[in-house]
Amino acid sequence: MAYEYSFADNIEYGAEDLNKLVKSLVSSGVADPFVDGVPYNAEKINDIVKTVYSDGVVPDSDSTLKVSKVSDGTIAIAPGLAFFEDGSTIRITEAHQMPYAPGAINYVYLKQDLAERNQNYPVCSVDAPSGDFVLLAEISEYGVITDKRTYAKGKVAGYQSNANCSMVIEKEIVIDEKTLGLEGEEEFEIDMGTNNYSHVFVIVDGNGSSGQMGVYSLKDNTYFCTCVYGDYDQIITDSIRIGSAGARTPFAYLTFSLNGNKLKCLFKWNRAGAGATTRMYKFKMVIC
């Protein structure tokens, strides 16, 4: 079976199952773990969950519980976790294939059915869902899949992740060119956590010029900058210096690279010919 669910009555769970649920809800920290040998009522455990999260898909990535077509008449649900309104859960542990009825509108959803069948399970049906369910997709009579996923949200703000929320970083770098030199670099790192981020927008606060804007794609490692002087694999944060033979070099710029969930930011400057001065660079990064 390519899915598992929790928590249902008359089924034995171990401390590992309970602690696995807690890890889905909060980050690491000081807490009382569940231990074996202590009875817990399934309904009470589900009550704990529903006070922390709303129902929906847990947004670990863009592909969590996404529905895709395998062939005519067959779809697959990608792995992932979902919470139901009553606090119970279902986790698809590996791609779960299901048949659908071509030529009709089909609904793909996760069903909470603890009262009748004492389990939660995935469904693909021409009948619209009712009761406690998490809708994943609709399939048109022509076989077109429309994504209908909604994401679970933390009800306790301190426990909510940055997933699907933008992160704003304001940075100020002061360059004393008399001591640091006319050319140099500074590196800093941003922990983005578990997220679905795809772009970094950079807004520059003037810096004595007209200011610049740019965007970096976390998906394909590409850049776009409002500066019109040539193609650069960077986001320009200061004016362009035009040298001999029309060579164009930015006075300062940003580049990015990914290391897991860490965004490495490299700020470089080269003000040769601009004179030794103290320069303050201010920019805002919106990660979304």
Can you list the domains of the chain with their CATH numbers? 3-158 (no CATH), 167-287 (2.60.40)
For position 219, what pLDDT does the model report?
85
Q: Phi, psi at residue 283, to the nearest 5°? A: -150, 155
Tens digit of pLDDT per residue, the chain (288 long)? Answer: 676 666 666 777 665 676 566 555 544 343 444 455 555 555 556 666 665 667 788 877 778 899 999 998 999 999 988 888 877 888 899 999 999 999 999 999 999 888 888 888 999 999 999 999 999 999 999 888 988 888 877 665 544 455 556 788 887 777 766 656 677 788 888 887 666 788 888 887 755 444 577 888 888 888 887 664 555 567 666 655 544 444 456 677 888 888 877 889 888 877 665 555 667 777 788 888
User: Model's pTM, two decimal places?
Assistant: 0.48
For position 202, what pLDDT does the model report?
86
For position 282, what pLDDT does the model report?
78
